[in-house]
């Protein structure tokens, strides 16, 4: 998932989300008294947010399971530290905040509870865990949609299963490399979870939880929910 050309296109064509949420997230961190310190970004992608967090004065450790995303992130944010790893297993270093934006948690079908517990264990008291997840596929399915950039074209089919539990995106990508179009295909599966389910798992891990449809002034895509979870100060 997110092999070379898909990582390239995520960065070149779908980076706006991270660019536009970054100032809202930095405002949120500061409003909660996290003005410096270490942020662990899980599903860091091509490093767009990591770069902005570094520029805002934070130390950043980025984790992503895609080697090609991590390669782009290292080039974009050389002052951050990046590791290849899955949120299901990677060690989460001690941190003041953990962030996972762009439906990262929804990419894992297994219960998120063990991950939430590991994030909770890694956070300093009062630390924040900020992420978004998909709660509904309504308005997010289509028979075929194309997106294009200067040197690429992406065709996506998105469908939901009968149980309304998994959104599957089947993608074909053409990228012009050295005058020739190179084709690659990927299928991404996103697990749909109710707010109730996610909130219960976070609370069981020890967080106090706030959910909304936006990061600050940036409204999420239909069906997505933003979470600000706080490790309470004992």
Ligand X SMILES: C[S@@+](CC[C@H](N)C(=O)[O-])C[C@H]1O[C@@H](n2cnc3c(N)ncnc32)[C@H](O)[C@@H]1O
Name the token pair of 46: 């091509």
Contacts of 218 (CB under 8 A, 6+ apart): 20, 21, 24
Residue 80 CB, shortest distance to ligand X, in Å, is 13
Distance of alpha carbon 36 from alpha carbon 21, whole angstroms: 18
Among 12, 13, 108, 170, binds ligand X (CB under 6 A): 108
Strand partners, 41: 62, 99
x-marked contacts with ligand X along 17-56 as a string, rule CB under 6 A: xx-----------------------xxxx--x--------
Residue 233 CB, shortest distance to ligand X, in Å, is 28
User: Does 106 participate in binding ligand X (rule CB under 6 A)?
Assistant: no
Among 38, 51, 52, 65, binds ligand X (CB under 6 A): 65
Element holding 182 (H helix, E strand): strand 180-191
Distances (CA, A) of 207 to 20, 122, 229: 26, 12, 6
User: Does 101 participate in binding ligand X (rule CB under 6 A)?
Assistant: yes
Interface ranges with ligand X (CB under 6 A): 1-2, 17-18, 42-45, 48, 63-66, 69, 86-88, 101-104, 107-108
């Amino acid at each position: 998932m997110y092999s070379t050309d898909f990582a390239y296109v995520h960065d070149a064509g779908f980076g706006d989300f991270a660019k536009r949420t970054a100032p809202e997230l930095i405002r949120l961190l500061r409003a909660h008294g996290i003005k410096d310190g270490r942020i662990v970004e899980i599903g860091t992608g091509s490093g767009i947010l990591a770069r902005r967090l570094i520029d805002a004065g934070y130390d950043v450790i980025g984790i992503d399971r895609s080697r090609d995303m991590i390669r782009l992130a290292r080039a974009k944010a050389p002052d951050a530290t990046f590791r290849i790893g899955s949120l299901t297993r990677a060690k989460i270093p001690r941190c003041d905040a953990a962030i996972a934006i762009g439906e990262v948690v929804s990419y894992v079908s297994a219960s998120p509870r063990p991950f939430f517990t590991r994030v909770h264990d890694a956070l300093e008291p009062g630390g924040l865990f900020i992420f978004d997840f998909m709660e509904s596929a309504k308005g997010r399915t289509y028979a075929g949609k194309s997106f294009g950039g200067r040197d690429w074209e992406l065709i996506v089919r998105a469908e939901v299963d009968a149980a309304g539990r998994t959104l599957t995106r089947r993608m074909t990508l053409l990228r012009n490399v050295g005058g020739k179009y190179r084709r690659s295909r990927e299928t991404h599966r996103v697990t749909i979870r109710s707010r109730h389910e996610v909130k219960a798992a976070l609370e069981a891990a020890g967080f106090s939880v706030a959910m909304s449809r936006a990061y600050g002034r940036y409204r999420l895509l239909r069906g997505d929910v933003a979470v600000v979870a706080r490790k309470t100060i004992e």
